[in-house]
A and B are shown apart, each in its own frame.
Chain A
């Protein structure tokens, strides 16, 4: 099997330039590539366009990249948990493209699957539909949405092997599999990196063909946004 292992996050993101388009997996803070975010923070780049469902919180996740003013534009569905984000948005320092969550997921999926556009009912009759082609199919209106692709996609998985096969855990899967396929170069950080043959082929969520670089991450904080418990 092809060995895609890189040493660590620093090596994995070394050639990511400023002003490029990046995808990052995760829903809230669940399933975000913590190690690569730290490695990006250490780089002197800016002008990034980031496709991610959310924008992290003030002091964790993508929020850290925002704080360092590395981000030019966010393409997201919900960005409500971040005061620095709000400040930059209101002052015009940051652009935001808000997209219905299912449309975002499907645009990324389409990007990885070679489908340049598709029709969805989400957003018909709303401001999301402005400037988009609307077409009627069997009596219902749909609007045309285009694919999303990126220069780099960064995903986080639970387990992976050196050839890039990935398995996710719980709801930390979310946008990661589609983003893996939609990045020209996909970087995968995993909690446990194993040799080919150690993962059951029946259980692979993302086949290694989509992954160009993989490494075992460290010190996962996995911060929880809303710790809700039963007594």
Chain B
């Protein structure tokens, strides 16, 4: 099984040169640490920044410079700042190439649920619904099963949906999977030491297995 850092590391391999990328809160934020240095990419923060840099040193902490998770950050050279309407114009307008976000559930047709658990405190969707409605490529970082062992890759989402037919790829602690346009999770890679059988047992949505499934490679 992959650690959170390994999930982030595996997702970082999906990043391509020249992309503008929005990283969600949690594991997706960690992806920034593993993007190869020789790639030129720009990270978007939906509260109004293109060009997120690393966390500041103590003396450079600026309350007027935070990311969408309200963490203090820095700007890389050549950054741009803008207002929230402009930020979501670039998101809805399809200018952000890749969105990486967490999920509570994904269905086999690519629906995602990640904002609300009925009966529990509702905190809000933030920018998630705008992001999933518009991004051309959405990769989900998630745990394959809940803490009590229930699969989170389902025939249909049981929780309130954030967006429909939008997830393209999933990197879980057990596997890399693609969502088939015809419906179903296409198994692409296994986490080291995890068998196809185990993934099958822990996936309640339709799992498509074609040929030998390679193990993920980590440098």
Contact = CB atoms under 8 A, between A and B. Distances in A.
Nearest to B47: A27
A224 interface: yes
B164 interface: yes
Interface stretch (A39-47, A169-177, A192-200): A169-177
A198 B137 CA distance: 45
B84 A174 contact: yes
Contacts of B124: 76-80, 98
B105 interface: no
Centre residue among A86, A101, A125, A177 by max chain B CB count within 10 A: A101
Contact of B88 (A105, A123, A228): A105
A15 interface: no
B216 interface: no
A224 B60 CA distance: 13
A217 to B, nearest CB: 14
Contacts of A28: 47, 66, 70
A100 B130 contact: yes
A91 interface: no
A191 to B, nearest CB: 10
B55 A128 contact: no
Nearest to B88: A102
Given A102-B88, A173-B83, A226 B66 contact: yes
B125 A101 contact: yes
Contact of A173 (B48, B57, B129, B162): B48
Contacts of B82: 173
Contacts of B134: 121-122
Interface in B67-102: 67, 69-73, 81-85, 87-88, 91-92
A159 interface: no
B133 A223 contact: no
Contacts of B111: 125
B159 to A, nearest CB: 11
B63 A101 contact: no
A27 B185 CA distance: 37
Nearest to B90: A102
30 contacts: A27-B48, A27-B70, A28-B47, A31-B64, A76-B124, A78-B125, A80-B121, A80-B124, A89-B121, A96-B122, A100-B128, A102-B46, A102-B88, A122-B130, A122-B134, A124-B133, A128-B125, A172-B63, A173-B48, A173-B82, A174-B48, A175-B84, A177-B83, A178-B83, A222-B63, A224-B72, A226-B70, A226-B72, A229-B57, A230-B54
Given A122-B129, A128-B129, A173-B83, 4 more contacts: A27-B70, A100-B125, A224-B63, A229-B56
A-B pairs, top 6 by smallest CB distance, nearest first, are: A102-B88, A102-B130, A80-B123, A125-B164, A170-B64, A222-B63
